Structure formats: structure tokens, C-alpha cells
Amino acid sequence: IDHVVLTVKNIPISIEFYARVLGMRAIQFGDAYKNPRIALKFGQQKINLHEAGDEFEPKARTPTPGSADLCLITENDLAQAMAYMESCNVEIIEGPVERTGAVGKLQSFYIRDPDFNLIEISNQI
């Protein structure tokens, strides 16, 4: 997957969370003067951010903040990642639990972003 789009209530709040908690970096692309676009970059992927009510066309039929469920793979030790979330005052809502990913078994835990999207953070087993 090259990129996905998240519809959010507030782009600056989303940037702060994803940068501080998940280590992503915000980038700007598109026409910087007429219609600047913002994405969160990590590795060779990105998450484009659309602010609710001001989405880029074309868009999903019913873009809604809080409707996404994403799984992110980390190479960091899961226990360390969980401890880091707690140090960031991010509630772990479940985990660690075993799940099945695209290429095999995962050990995962779950958090929510500021829009209440479900974020699964996983190690491949």
C-alpha cells in the first residue's frame, strides 16, 4: 500500500499525535499556495490527512473521523512500545494479544488516535 487517507477533525492535532506518539513526520505536498495538502510520512508509505468538511476530491463516499482501523508493524520490542505509549499518556485499550496479519501471526496492542481511530501496533511473530 502506497498511502491511505484519514479524515480527521483537526489536522494540527492529528499531526502532533502521530509525530509525538508514532514517530511519523508531517510533509506538505500539492500546490503550496492554492491547495496545500498534508500527509504523515513513515518508511515508504504515507497517510494523507483530510480535514472533515474540507476533503480533497475525489474522496470516499462518507468520509468520517474515527472510522479507520489501522495496523502498523514495528520492529521495536512490543513491551518497550507499550511502555512508551504509557509514557506518552496514551491509553492501551487491549493487548498484548495474538492476531493474524497479512503475512503471518502478529503480537499486537491497541490504542486510539485523537479522532478515536483504532490503531493496532504489532510485531510479526
Q: What pLDDT, on a 0 to 100 scale, did the predictor assign at position 20?
A: 95
d(CA 29, CA 35): 9
**CA 19-22-27 angle, 5° bins:** 40
Q: What is the DSSP letter of 54?
A: B
CB-based contacts of 96, cutoff 8 Å, min separation 6: 78, 79, 82, 107, 108, 109
**Quick one: pLDDT band at residue 1, thresholds 50, 70, 90?**
confident
The verdict on pTM exceeding 0.75 is yes
Grid cell of 55 as nine digits: 476533503
Q: What is the CATH number of domain 3-124?
A: 3.10.180.10
36 preceded by a cis bond (ω within 30 of 0) = no
Q: Using one digit for the tens of pLDDT, what is the confidence trace for 56-113?
A: 889 999 999 999 999 999 999 999 999 999 999 999 999 999 999 999 999 999 999 9
d(CA 118, CA 122): 13
Tell me how far CA of residue 33 lies from CA of 8, 28, 30, 37, in angstroms.
22, 11, 9, 10
Domain residue ranges in the chain: 3-124
Residue of 16, 55, 57, 120 marked catalytic: 120
Task: Indicate if 120 belongs to the active site.
Answer: yes
Rounded to whole angstroms, how far apart are CA atoms 18 and 62? Answer: 23
Which pLDDT score, from 0 to 100, does residue 57 have? 87
Please check whether residue 21 is in contact with residue 90, taking contact to mean a CB–CB distance below 8 angstroms. Answer: yes
